[in-house]
Amino acid sequence: MKRTAGVMLMVVSGALMAEVATGDAIPSGPPVAKTSPDVKALSWMEGRWTGTHEGVEMEETWGSGAGGAMLGVHKDVKGGRMVSFEFLRIAPDESKELTYFASPRGKEPTPFRLKETAERRVVFENKAHDFPQRILYWLDAAGALHARIEGTLNGKAAGEEWTWTRAR
């Protein structure tokens, strides 16, 4: 299940992107908070985000943090057909830690606990997962939403990154 979740996260997010070593610069922001914020602190992720890469139309939508959770869905379309999807949730887990739950193709969710937050940037981590071990989101100065997955894959540092713009 862990392997499937990691692989599907790559596919769902447009796995046609180039692999990048985790040594690449990771966007940073103001000093990092290590405590679990209210999910509403991630309101900058809300909305419908779209992008296209090599014929794959990507769409990721995030709802509000009302009720203590943000729900998201990701869909990839190629040649007019949906080729992948993923259900996403950011909410406190059983120990009240803010957690990103990834459910590729509706499978059992894989949890990634909050590792770092900064203004318009968040990092979730699950060191026990095969790949990815980290999931990052950030909003750049131009208003584009970025997502990156990274970790160790087949014994090597690996990562993939995507950029989406707010749908009008």
Token representation of residue 62: 């995030």
Distances (CA, A) of 83 to 54, 65, 78, 139: 14, 28, 6, 26
pLDDT at 15 over 60: no
pLDDT at 31 over 90: no
Give the pLDDT of residue 36.
60
- Quick check: helix, strand or coil at residue 73? strand
pTM of the predicted model as reported, rounded to 2 decimal places: 0.81
Q: Who contacts 7 (Cβ-Cβ below 8 Å, separation ≥6)?
A: 104, 131
pLDDT tens across 82-103, in order? 999 999 999 999 999 999 999 9
Amino acid, single-letter form, for residue 1: M
- Helix (H) or strand (E) segment spanning residue 98: strand 98-104
- Quick check: helix, strand or coil at residue 91? strand
pLDDT tens across 106-128, in order? 999 999 999 999 999 999 999 99
More confident: 31 or 151:
151
Question: Cα(109)–Cα(143) distance, rounded to whole angstroms?
Answer: 29
> Where do the domains of the chain lie, and which CATH numbers do they carry?
2-166 (2.40.128.20)
Q: Given the structure tokens 């909050």, which residue do they identify?
A: 114
pLDDT at 160 over 60: yes
Q: What is the DSSP string of 13-42?
A: TTTTSPP--TTSPPP--SS-B-S---GGGG
More confident: 140 or 35:
140
Give the pLDDT of residue 141.
97
Q: Who contacts 108 (Cβ-Cβ below 8 Å, separation ≥6)?
A: 1, 5
Is residue 33 within 8 Å of residue 116, measured between CB atoms?
yes
pLDDT at 63 over 80: yes
